Amino acid sequence: MKDDSDLAFKALETISKTPSEEQTRLLNSLPTRAAIQQLFLGPYWKRLWIIQEVSVSVNVMMYCGKASMMWDTLVLALDNIIGLKKKNAVARFRVA
């Protein structure tokens, strides 16, 4: 399986701070959507210590390969994705 974590992190970073039109374009791009889905379907999210670390830390930095992102950026990007899904602005998007 190809590791597109760099693409996923760049897309999530952009989605966290751009207007909804750009967010929609990114999320409707099949390679971008596939990279984000692959990132969230990985075993990383099933590890209990990850949940514990995030819940007690103040400044969480995520790393995957050479890519990195602040946890707050990820949360903002996911909030934007959920908002777009509620408006039916993006194609079917599954992350769990």
Helix (H, G, I), strand (E, B) or coil at 67: strand
Residue 90 has pLDDT above 80, yes or no: no
Residue 96 has pLDDT above 60, yes or no: no
Q: How confident is the model at residue 8, as a pLDDT?
A: 93
Dist. CA 65–CA 10, nearest whole Å: 13
Residue 94 has pLDDT above 70, yes or no: no
CB atoms within 10 A of CB 88: 7
Q: How confident is the model at residue 24, as a pLDDT?
A: 87
The string of pLDDT tens digits covering residues 43-54 is: 888 888 888 888
Dist. CA 44–CA 82, nearest whole Å: 21
Residue of 88 and 91 predicted with greater confidence = 88
Strand partners, 64: 67
